[in-house]
Chain A
Amino acid sequence: MGEESTTFSDGDAIPRVVIVDDHRLFRSGVRGELGDAVEVIGEAGDVDSAVHVINETRPDLVLLDVHLPGGGGVEVLRRVLAKNPGIRFLALSVSDAAEDVIGVVRGGARGYVTKTISGRELADAIVRVADGDAVFSPRLAGFVLDAFSATDAPPVDPELDRLTQREREVLRHIARGYAYKEVAKELFISVKTVETHVSSVLRKLQLSNRHELSRWATARRLV
């Protein structure tokens, strides 16, 4: 999927983005904050219209709210990815509930950020995800560390069910509030390597069907 000749991070192109959120006020706010960094080619306020707009416009990236009328962000992911597996999603939410966060990432989103994120950081995250990398907020990194360590049971598939020492180290730095660049400097590796580690964690998070993962998310259900 990452074989396209243009990369957005090099400034070759501006990512075409669809914003999906049920608050019109928030959509226009994000639009304003992002400014020229992205081209917003569509908006939607519920699951059905989101699926329609996304399949119609085929954006580089969808900014997806976790809570949506009509089934939530997970439902949008399910319906769009079945048809257009190449479209990338960045989840955006006010909810810090583990179930929501893990759910939307396991549903196929390549990153998760909270709505309090600054405009500049959001633009960075969009470019990164549009390029096929993964974006973890400190909180998501914490959740993943927690989920993958919260077990005594032997992993079903060691390849998918366990984080490597290096991946844990990268996640711990992200949880401590380090940006990718800072993590790279700290661990004496390149930013590209950090990105590779995070993408690999994302893959494990999405593909591991270890029982603990879902059980953990349910146990952390805070309601």
Chain B
Amino acid sequence: METTAAETPRLTRAVEGRLLGGVAAGVARHLGIDPVVVRLALMALTVGGIGLAVYAALYFALPREEVEDRPEGSEEHRRKGRDISQIIAYVGLAAAFGVLFMIFGGVFDPLLWFIIFGALGATILWQQANPAERDEWMASTVSRAGPKGLMRTGTGVLLIVIGVIGFMVFQQQLQDARAGLSFALTLLAGISLVAAPWIIGLVRERDAERRERIRNAERAELAAHIHDSVLHTLTLIQRRAEDPREVQRLARVQERALRSWLYQRPADAETTVSPALERVAAEVEEEHGVPIEVVCVGDCPMDDGLGALLRAAREAMVNASKYAGGSGISVFGEVEEREVLVFVRDRGEGFDLEAIPEDRMGVRGSIIGRMERHGGSARIRTAPGEGTEVQLTMPRIPEL
């Protein structure tokens, strides 16, 4: 036990890594030793009679360790799960020792030691089975049966055999009458202890196989999808190679389809604004072949006004596609507390707003008029050589 003053943590009840009250973990941390040692010592004391009292005294005497909030996560859940099984193990071990001491009346009975040998062997074999599970989590390439594993398995089997044979020998000498029954039972127990880890191993292997099958099915589905869509589009692109516009359109359509297939949004495209805006942009892009980049911030449920906003935005995107020239269109949608804004911007020629005759403005009717009818507003900013930006604003209906 090293207790360097600088690094020894205060003696507290541990929160992290505790099993019951955190006494053993806290003491172990304070002393700088493995909590298992402390727990086994406490257990031995309990069998001896005073362990519980010591534990209770420490529990009430020690302050609780202070910890910051840990983020929720599977890590903690897993730790909690392990905690319960550990508690059961310790209680079981304590009970077993208690019973054994009661039956055999002390530590000097050789029978007791053969039983302990057997149990020890079985434990080692069980341990051998466990790493397989851990390896599965960490890496698939770790081989299970290294020389160390073989040695441990051998030791485990040997201990069990010693335990079983020793038990039988002494049993026969001491109590001939019960020998028959004990022989059968002990043999059976010994065999099942040896066999259990391998049976469990087989079950796990079957689980792994099933998982692999599911993975293969997913892979097959992905392959089918890529074949149907991506390969098909690539073929089309090769055949239309002389038409760059069409090639670009095909590539964009396919990209969008693949993207939505890969990163599908859980939100329903019809019920909230931002996926709806993206869908509108996708439609316009498909029709007119000009790439549209959509960025959305925030989201809210659709209503009539926002429907009009989307139709106006669509009209603005169509206009932009016609006059934008080759370069792309940027669409930015922002849902604010009181209003929803949509900006549609192109980098085309731009135009002189004043120079356009009153009567032939699709802009005026379908964008400005539509917005104003629904209580919103539209602004068009443009100048020759600077592209055009349509700014749409629609107030939100306050949520009830």
Question: Closest CB of chain A to B307's CB: distance in Å?
Answer: 22
- Please encode chain A, from 22 to 46, with 1 for each CB lying within 8 Å of some chain B CB and 0 for all others: 0000000000000000000000000
Complex: chain B residue closest to A150, CB-CB: B298
> Within 8 Å CB of A139, what residues of B?
293, 295
Interface membership of A96, Cβ < 8 A = yes
The answer to whether the Cβ of A222 comes within 8 Å of any Cβ in the partner chain is yes
**Complex interface: chain B residues within 8 A of A223 (CB):** 262-264
Residue of A142, A150, A211 touching B71 (CB-CB under 8 A): A211
Given A176-B332, A223-B262: A141 in contact with B298 (beta carbons within 8 A) = no
- Asked if B222 is at the interface (CB within 8 A of a chain A CB), the reply is no
Question: A142-B295, A142-B332, A149-B297 given as contacts; is B263 within 8 A of A176 (CB)?
Answer: no
B265 contacts the other chain (CB 8 A): yes
Q: Does B345 contact A (CB under 8 A)?
A: yes
The answer on a CB contact under 8 Å between B293 and A138 is yes
Contact partner, B263, options A96, A146, A177, A211, Cβ 8 Å: A96
Complex Cα distance A178/B295, Å? 13
Contacts A172-B332, A176-B330, A176-B389 given; indicate if A222 touches B343 (C-beta within 8 A). Answer: no
**Contacting pair A149 B263 (CB below 8 A):** no
Q: Residue B296 at the A interface, CB < 8 A?
A: yes
Q: Are A175 and B265 in contact (CB under 8 A)?
A: no
Cβ 8 A contact of B345, one of A141, A145, A172, A177: A177
A97 touches B (CB below 8 Å): yes
Contact A222 B297 (CB under 8 A): no
How far apart sit A93 and B55, CA to CA, in the bound complex (Å)? 57
Main secondary structure of the interface of B (DSSP, over half): strand
Whether the pair B295, A149 counts as a contact (CB closer than 8 A) is: no
**Cα–Cα, bound, A16→B259 (Å):** 33
Whether A176 and B343, one on each chain, are in contact in the complex, defined by CB atoms closer than 8 angstroms, is: yes
CA separation between A211 and B264, bound complex, in Å? 25
Smallest beta-carbon distance A45→chain B, Å: 22
Give the size category of A's interface with B: 10 to 19
Q: Encode A146-186 as 1/0 by CB contact (under 8 A) with B.
A: 10011000000000000000000000100111100000000
Cβ of B334 within 8 Å of any chain A Cβ, yes or no, is yes
Residue of B nearest to A177 (CB): B330
Of residues 129 to 174 in B, which have CB atoms within 8 Å of A's CB atoms? none
Residue from B265, B298, B345 in contact with A149 in the complex, judged by beta carbons closer than 8 Å? B298
Assembled-state Cα–Cα distance A139/B293 (Å): 9
Tell me the smallest distance from the CB of B385 to a CB of chain A, in Å. 13
Q: A138-B330, A176-B343, A177-B332 are in contact. Are A222 and B265 (CB under 8 A)?
A: yes
Residues from chain B with a CB closer than 8 A to the CB of A222 are: 263-265
B264 lies within 8 A of A142 (CB): no
* A145: B residues at CB distance < 8 A: 297, 334
Report the Cα distance A139→B333, complex, angstroms: 11
Distance from A54 Cβ to chain B, minimum over Cβ atoms (Å): 26
Most chain B CB within 10 A, of A139, A176, A178, is at: A176
The count of residues in chain B whose C-beta lies closer than 8 Å to any C-beta of chain A is 20
Across-interface contacts of A146 in B (CB, < 8 A)? 297-298
Set of chain A residues within 8 Å of B259, measured between Cβ atoms:
96
CB distance from B53 to the nearest CB of A (A): 43
Q: Roughly how many angstroms separate A141 CA and B330 CA in the complex, as a whole number?
A: 13
A176 partner residues in chain B, CB cutoff 8 A: 330, 332, 343, 345, 389
Question: B293 and A177: CB pair below 8 A?
Answer: yes
Q: A175, B332: Cβ atoms under 8 Å?
A: yes
Q: What's the nearest-Cβ distance from chain B to residue A184, in Å? A: 14
A96 to B293, CA, bound (A): 12
Complex Cα spacing A142 to B291, Å: 18
| Given A138-B295, A139-B295: A97 and B332 interface contact (C-beta under 8 Å) | no
> How long is the Cα–Cα vector from A168 to B210 in the complex, in angstroms?
51
Q: A138-B295, A141-B295, A142-B297 are in contact. Are A172 and B334 (CB under 8 A)?
A: yes
A58 to chain B, nearest CB (A): 33
Q: Could you tell me the distance in whole angstroms from the C-beta of B84 to the nearest C-beta in chain A? A: 28
Residues 283-303 of B at the A interface (beta carbon under 8 Å): 291, 293, 295-298
Nearest chain-A residue to B295 (Cβ)? A142
Name the A residues within 8 Å of B334 (CB-CB): 145, 172, 175
Q: Which residues of A contact B71 (CB under 8 A)?
A: 211
Interface 0/1 of B369-400, CB less than 8 Å to A: 00000000000000000000100000000000
Proximity string of chain B (335-374) to chain A, C-beta cutoff 8 Å, 1 when within and 0 when not: 0000000010101000000000000000000000000000
Contacts of B265 in A (CB 8 A): 222
Q: Report A-chain residues with C-beta under 8 Å of the C-beta of B329.
A: 177
A145 to B389, CA, bound (A): 21
B residues whose Cβ falls under 8 Å from a Cβ of A = 71, 259, 262-265, 291, 293, 295-298, 329-330, 332, 334, 343, 345, 347, 389
Known: A146-B297, A177-B329, A223-B262. 4 other contacts (CB 8 A): A176-B345, A176-B389, A178-B345, A222-B264
Closest CB pairs A-B (n = 9)? A177-B330, A222-B263, A142-B295, A176-B332, A145-B297, A176-B343, A175-B332, A175-B295, A146-B297
